[in-house]
Amino acid sequence: MKRKLWKRGVVLLVVAVCLLSQAYTLQAYTIDSALGEYAEGKYINKSPAFSVQFPANWVAQQGFPGEIFRIANNNEWSLPVATLTITDKAKDAPALDSDAAAEAYLKALKESAPSSSRHRIESKGVVKLTDGTEAMTLIIKWKYDFSTTLHTAALVAYQGDKVINLSNSTTVGGNTPPEKLLDMLKTLTFK
């Protein structure tokens, strides 16, 4: 009798775990095919033409206004989460290695999350991508709300008259350190 109850308990536990894991699977969204495509961890943008690589298990999510994509780890918290925006480059856009470029990024971050606070740039640099394109890199620590502190790795590149803004965010102390998030963004390759 005890053995039969134990087996039932194990079966119920397995069923419960399976149901919970399905409940935490992210709803996958399709990225507008006129803008780009995302499959098996690789995003390919149409114009300007470039690609960027993420882990194969990350899925596209419903984006916020102005985002080309929002791609996240397929877990219950959807973290880390990567985003892409492409904007027109101003004629007087600051040089990527300038403090003005970093401040412009911070301003845009604050505008996208009005209730956020305590934005601090932890590192800033300029890198050459594998195709030779220069890009600004930032790691920012900030409070999304009163209880959530995030690390955001950002990469900003100019391509013609466009500004490509890639970001990758997770909670401070999360499983993926901000340097690894930035390494993902550095896979940006223009064609």
Question: Residue 27: its pLDDT value, please?
Answer: 56
Higher pLDDT, 27 or 182: 182
Taking residues 85-99, report their average pLDDT: 96
pLDDT, tens digit, for every residue of 44-68?
999 999 999 999 999 999 888 899 9
Size of the chain, expressed as the number of residues it contains = 191
Burial 81-120 (b: 16+ CB within 10 A, else e): bbbbbbeeeeeebeebeeeebbebbbebbeeeeeebeebe
pLDDT, tens digit, for every residue of 100-159?
999 999 999 999 999 999 999 999 999 999 999 999 999 999 999 999 999 999 999 999
Q: Report whether pLDDT(16) > 50.
A: no
Question: Residue 28: its pLDDT value, please?
Answer: 64
Q: Report whether pLDDT(22) > 80.
A: no
Closest CA to 140 of 172, 165, 163: 172
pTM of the model: 0.84
Question: Residue 75: its pLDDT value, please?
Answer: 86
Q: Residue 124 and residue 154: Cα distance in Å, rounded? A: 9
Cα-only R_g, the chain: 20
> Quick one: fold of 26-190?
Protein Transport Mog1p; Chain A (3.40.1000)
Tell me what percent of the residues of the chain surpass a pLDDT of 70.
85
